[in-house]
Structure 1
Amino acid sequence: MVVQAVIFDIGNVLIGWQPEQFFDRVIGQERRMAFFDAVPILEMNDRVDTGENFHDAIAEMITLYPNWADELAIWRDRWIEIASPAIDHSVRLLRALRRGEHTVLALSNFGNETLEMAEREYPFLEEFDQRFISGEMGVIKPDAAIYERLETACGVQPAALLFTDDRPENITAAQARGWQTHLFDGPEGWAARLVADGLLTEEAAQ
């Protein structure tokens, strides 16, 4: 079926999201591994992505894990450095699709407060026709409910949606609903898919 709407994930598609690599640089790999083993920081991040207040979640974690207060403060105070850099080629693809008058949506696991921080750093995050953000919706990928709500809100048949995401489980969930999908492993492959589907010319996809 002809694609009627293109859907971007945000983290690791439009902006980097590699917290392990960031902490390896800042505190060293050994200390980072101990931190991630001792503190359920990624689980906390999922809670924030489901709508829990970012600052409240960090404060709670500092209370529960005082020996890791410094590392948790880094997560709080330098969060925008973790969510970096912009993936420039992907941003160009987003804008090329918009110039071609294609409908472009975002479907992302993102907290409310962290999205505000990201918007200030990356204004292109406000350039979608519609955004479906887990923190606002109270549900995260790969829960089927978030995909269903996007379908209902955008009014496009599932088979006419093309979705890219870097996480296989999120792609599998979209496929189960009949979406067209692309597992993102770099902007070059995504660009080639958009060209192959006739959504962009090779020149526009550069």
Structure 2
Amino acid sequence: MSDIRHIVFDIGKVLVHYDPELPFRRIIPDDRRRAWFLREVCSNEWNLEQDRGRSWTVAEEELIARFPDEAENIRAFRRHWAEMVPHAYEDSVAILRELIDAGRDVTMLTNFASDTFREAQEMYPFLKWSRGVTVSGDIRIIKPDPAIYEHHTRTFGLDPAATLFIDDSEKNVLGARAFGWQAIRFDDAEQLREDLAGYELVA
């Protein structure tokens, strides 16, 4: 029998699709200019600070000070955020449901801004199904900082050695393993089912 007693899901690109390109294909139609904007202005690194708890107001003000000609496009990032999460991965959600229905202890751990996560929960009610969620923006710590795994472990009373983490990011998977959890990298739902079957968590 599997020694896993706790299963922890990441959310973005595991349960919910995320792609900032989607609204910006309309907002900035030129491919080269859009690529520059999302690489150098509203970059992944800039957005990650909102996941760490920085307010959108501060984030926008600081970036507009650096790129005043891009003010409207910078504000458009938050304004059109919902378009960046257009659908769930239904096969992954089905696995989540199956685990919960089987009585497994399921929680979630996500790098997500506080306000957009609450919006996502309204868009996707399955984000309320698990026993609880650690949201990086709420606690101002992001994966793969060991402190976020420690916080989640303490908050939900997990046994690290009996915890299995599912995340699409290799560095977050490695961070979880270094902390003492077991962890698998998510590629797609079919592979996830195979991995979970290997732990005897699904049929």
TM-score by length of 1: 0.89
Asked if the contact 1:51/1:136 (under 8 Å) is kept, the reply is yes
Residues 200 and 25 of structure 1, relative CA distance in 2, 3 Å threshold:
farther
Deviation at 1:40, TM superposition (A): 4.9
Q: RMSD over aligned Cα, in angstroms?
A: 1.8
Partner in structure 2 of residue 96 of structure 1: 98
Aligned-partner SS, 2:46: helix
Is 2:68 the partner of 1:70? no
Deviation at 1:25, TM superposition (A): 6.1
Asked if the contact 1:15/1:86 (under 8 Å) is kept, the reply is yes
Alpha-carbon deviations, 1:128-185, whole Å to 9, x = none? 1021110111100000000111112222221100111111100111111221111011
Asked if the contact 1:54/1:113 (under 8 Å) is kept, the reply is no
Once structures 1 and 2 are overlaid, which stretch shifts more, 53-62 or 9-18?
53-62
Amino acid at match of 1:94: L
User: Gaps (5+ residues) in structure 2?
Assistant: none
Deviation at 1:71, TM superposition (A): 2.2
Alpha-carbon deviations, 1:45-103, whole Å to 9, x = none? 11111112224423442343222223223312110111232111111111111100101
Deviation at 1:21, TM superposition (A): 5.7
Asked if the contact 2:42/2:77 (under 8 Å) is kept, the reply is no
Asked if the contact 1:6/1:163 (under 8 Å) is kept, the reply is yes
Partner in structure 2 of residue 14 of structure 1: 15
User: Gaps (5+ residues) in structure 1?
Assistant: 202-206
Deviation at 1:2, TM superposition (A): 0.8
Once structures 1 and 2 are overlaid, which stretch shifts more, 192-201 or 119-128?
192-201
Aligned-partner SS, 1:17: coil
Partner in structure 2 of residue 204 of structure 1: none
Residues 37 and 101 of structure 1, relative CA distance in 2, 3 Å threshold:
closer
CA distance in 2: counterparts of 1:188 and 1:54, whole angstroms: 36
Q: After TM superposition, which residue ranges in structure 1, 4 or more long, deviate above 4 angstroms?
A: none
TM-score by length of 2: 0.91
Amino acid at match of 1:99: D
Aligned-partner SS, 1:67: helix
Alignment of 1:51-130 (within 5 A): 51-130=53-132
Q: Percent sequence identity over matched residues? A: 36
